[in-house]
Amino acid sequence: MIRLAQTPDARVAIRILAADCDAPENHVMKITPTLARAGLVRSVRGRIGGLVLARTPDDICLGEIVRVTEPGFSEAPEASGGLADAIADAAAAYLDALNRYRLSDMLKVTPTYRAARVSEGLPTLVTVS
C-alpha cells in the first residue's frame, strides 16, 4: 500500500509491486481482490494495467488495512475472562493506535521511488531525495 501511495499517478503491475516489496508475486495476486473489494485499490486489467489506490492516502487509515488483510484479528475471542480478555484488549489497543495513522503519514518517513531504467523487464528503482 505504501508503494502504491508513493506513485499515485501510476499503475503498478503486480510483478513489479511484488519485486519492489520483496514479496512473492503469488501473495500479491491473492491479496489484491481482498483490497479491491474493500475499496482500497483498483485493479486495471490489460497490457498497461496494474494496481492503483482507490482513495487518497489521506483517506486510508492503517487500522483499516489490517482489518481487511487480517480478518480474524479484530474478532472477539470465543472465551471470556483472563487471558482472552487481555488479548482482546491488546488487539483493540493495537487497532486504535493504527487508526491514528493514515497511509499518507507513512510517506513522510519512507523513501519515495521513481523508475530509473528497465533491467530484465522490471524497472529498477532509485531513491529520490
39 or 116: which leads in pLDDT? 39
pLDDT in tens, 81-104: 888 888 888 888 999 999 999 999
User: For position 126, what pLDDT does the model report?
Assistant: 43
Considering the domain architecture, whether residues 29 and 69 belong to the same structural domain is answered as: no
pTM metric for this prediction: 0.74
Considering the domain architecture, whether residues 109 and 95 belong to the same structural domain is answered as: no
Question: Which residues, 6+ apart, have CB-to-CB distance to 125 below 8 Å?
Answer: 20, 113, 114, 115, 116
User: For position 72, what pLDDT does the model report?
Assistant: 78
Angle, alpha carbons 47-23-44 (nearest 5°): 25
CATH at residue 50: 1.10.10.10
Considering the domain architecture, whether residues 17 and 66 belong to the same structural domain is answered as: no
| Domains held by the chain: number | 2
Range of the domain at 84: 61-101
Considering the domain architecture, whether residues 97 and 36 belong to the same structural domain is answered as: no
